[in-house]
Every structure is written in C-alpha cells, then in structure tokens.
Chain A
C-alpha cells in the first residue's frame, strides 16, 4: 500500500493530468448526449448576458435587412388573412365547431448568440422555462425552419440549428409529396443541407420547394425549408442525396418563433402506448 502511494506521489503530475483529461472527456461525452441539461453551456445566464451585449451591437448592423424581412412576412400574413376572411364571408358556418381547437401557439424570441461556421452550430435565444419553453420544441422564423430547442434555463435556451451534424428534420418535396430526412454535414456551408432517403426513381427538378411534413410533432406542416439545388445518386444505394439551398439565412437571424404544439403530448402518448402494445 505504501509503495503504491509513493508511486502515485512520484508521478503526481501525470496522474493529475490523466484525471483532468478524463474529466474533460466525460464533459465532452455528456454534452454530446442529445438534450442533457448541463451547466457548462451558453444557456447559462451569465454567459448569455454577455452574448446579449454583443448582439445588441450586431442588431444595429443588420437593421435594414431585418426590416425588409419583417415587412415581407407581414405582407405574406396579410395575404393569408384576406384569403381566410373571404372564405368565411361566402360560406358562413351555421354550427360552431367546438372540436376544432388551435393546435400551435408561437412564442417570439430574440437571438442573443449564434454560430454558423462551427461543425455543430447553435443559437441562444432570450426565452426560457419562465416563458413556457421546453426542450424539443421546434423553432422557425419568417423565412423558414431554424432548428430544435435543446437546453433550457430560466430565461434562456439553446437551439440546435439545421446546421448541426445531429439535426434531423422530416421534410417533403412539395411537387410530388415524397418525403425524407434533412441532415447536415461539415462539407456543407451555412446555406446548404442534404435531403436523404428519397428513392432514386422519384423525379426531382432543380428549384423544387422543400417543406416540413405532417409527421413531425415539432413543426406545423408546410413550413418552408428551401429549394433543391442538385440531385445526386448516392453511390451503392437506391436513394438520392438531394442538396437543398436553405431558405433561412442563419447569418443574420434576429427574431425567431418557438413552436408550441398543444397536441404534442397527446400524439406522443398515443404513439408510445401503441408501441408498448405491439411489444407485448
């Protein structure tokens, strides 16, 4: 026993080095587990406060662009509104449908920190549990899908954007309704993404629009994701890898909407119960 202690003492520098490095590896592994609440990230309030200060200045620089985006989104919403009211005018419902409840609510949030050049990119937004944000909520903006909420603190949350190697969003080609998963890799830049699992026989044209599907409990269906840039056959498989130009510009995101699906729990419970029933 004594010689053991002596051995450790003689090599205490190396032992300490190995101990600290193991702790670092533990932190890296833990951080990589999807959606694990940890202290060491930018949803930490003190860190987010500093980032907020930086964003304050950045916002001024991109003010003109943001104004343009908001104006175009307003116009789009106005168009939709006029369509809805027109329909109501002509076909007046005689019965009030009490079963039809609102499915999605939206929480506005300001982006306080973002990255687009790292291999795994995140946003930090200034809303947290105090504003009703929970992990695994979808995040969209005026021009398209942004990402998925990952970690939440009282007043801040981090969002895993589409520009993350673990991000996976169900997406479909609007022209023919075929669907696949949207993923990202590090040979892609901040404006591109890959739609995979589309059968090679499916006709895909350059410029076809890609949007969210009905399957995802995170996003409402039909939210714009982007347009097809090119379609290539994945060597050795029956599937095409379709390169998609993202409609969201991650470089100058300022305001985003967090999607709260009011029926999400219901859908999940039902699906889990079904799965359990099948296993028995």
Chain B
C-alpha cells in the first residue's frame, strides 16, 4: 500500500516534469498543445476519496499553471475533471464492478473501455483550458479545432504511454 502511494507520488513528479520540460516546448503546426499530464488524474485508484481527488486536482493544475503563466486555468480544468471522475466511473463501470485498490488502466479493462473512459475526460479538460485561455467568442471555431486536434493527440499519447509503461498481466 505504502509502495503504491510512493509510486503515485513519483508518477506525479514525472508527469509534471515531462509536461513542462518537454511537451510544453513541442509545437505542431501552432495549434496542437498536448497536455499529457491529465493521465495522472485518470489513473488514480478507483477508491481514491472524492475530497482528496479535488485537492490533488488543484495541486496538479496549479503546478502546471506555475510554468505557463496561466494562473488558475489548468487548476480549474483539473478540479473539474476530479469532480466528474467518480460519477463518470460509476457510469462506465464494468458489469462486475471495480475491485478495491484498482486503477482504471488499459491492461485491466482493455483498449475499448479505456479509450471511452479517457477520451471524454481529456476532451472536457482540453475544452475548458483552450476556451478559458482565449475567453471570447471571436475565432470560436478555430479554438474548437484546436481543442479537437489537441485532445486527439493527447489521447494517442496516453494510449501509447499505457502500452509502453505497463506490462500486460499474465
């Protein structure tokens, strides 16, 4: 259990570092900004207390904000994801429910389930961030296009990272 918590904390730092040191410096065509760091919120154990989830979301978001001069925007989006996640998990739960101490990961629930679970949360997160950044309705469609492209790119990165980092259970 303690090992598990340490692993989660380590994952937090690795993902934030990956985001601010590498991904924030990548620009594809000027419209794609992948925010891979949401993976941290997605893969927290199912049983994580809901209140703790809110605080973790805030800390994660504000750490990214620090490096982007976007105070509050990422925090807002992450807390929103943390708020939606428990209900969303209940909605898409497999027929026999979750086991305690389980994390929503691709190796346990398969590609299709994980794709649906992750896509919705990533899309909501990106939608909030890009629209808060612009915060006006001119260029509405070009912003939505950025949301779409970036979400797809982030989801691809998330799926890839799941296959790279976790060995399949035998």
Contacts and interface: CB of A to CB of B under 8 A. Distances in A.
A277 B26 CA distance: 53
B contacts with A: majority SS = helix
Contact of A41 (B66, B73, B143): B66
Interface in A37-93: 38, 40-42, 44, 47, 50-51, 54, 58
Given A54-B21, A120-B133, A186-B139, A20 B79 contact: yes
B72 interface: yes
A189 interface: yes
Interface string A12-53: 110011001100111110110000001011101001001100
A25 B142 contact: no
Nearest to A189: B30
Contacts of B138: 185
Contact of A12 (B51, B71, B133): B51
A117 B76 contact: no
A31 B71 contact: yes
A175 B164 CA distance: 59
B133 A20 contact: no
A33 B93 CA distance: 44
Contact of B51 (A13, A24, A38, A113): A13
Contacts of A119: 133-134
Contacts of A185: 138-139
A113 B50 CA distance: 36
B71 A38 contact: yes
A31 B51 contact: no
A147 B73 CA distance: 23
B27 interface: yes
Interface residues of A, number: 37
Contacts of B72: 24-28, 31, 40
B132 interface: yes
Interface string A148-191: 00000000001000000000000000000000000001110110
B37 interface: no
Given A47-B67, A186-B134, A21 B73 contact: no
Contacts of A21: 76, 79-80
A47 B65 CA distance: 11
A122 interface: yes
A25 B21 CA distance: 26
Nearest to A54: B21
Contact of A44 (B21, B66, B80): B66
B7 interface: no
Contacts of B65: 27, 40
B54 A41 contact: no
A54 B25 contact: yes
Contacts of B33: 117-118
A28 B73 contact: yes
Nearest to A251: B27
B71 A30 contact: yes
Contacts of A28: 71-73, 76, 132
Contacts of A38: 71
Interface string B40-80: 00000000001100110010011001111111110110011
**A-B pairs with the 10 shortest C-beta distances?**
A27-B72, A28-B72, A31-B71, A24-B76, A40-B71, A117-B27, A24-B72, A122-B69, A24-B75, A17-B83
23 contacts: A13-B50, A16-B54, A17-B54, A21-B76, A21-B80, A24-B58, A24-B73, A24-B76, A24-B79, A25-B76, A30-B71, A31-B69, A38-B71, A40-B62, A41-B71, A47-B66, A47-B67, A50-B20, A50-B67, A113-B67, A117-B27, A185-B138, A185-B139
Interface of B: 20-21, 24-25, 27, 30, 33, 50-51, 54-55, 58, 61-62, 65-73, 75-76, 79-80, 83, 132-134, 138-139, 142-143
Given A26-B72, A27-B75, 20 more contacts: A13-B54, A17-B79, A21-B80, A24-B79, A28-B76, A28-B132, A31-B70, A40-B72, A41-B66, A42-B67, A47-B66, A50-B20, A54-B21, A118-B70, A118-B133, A119-B133, A119-B134, A120-B133, A158-B69, A190-B30
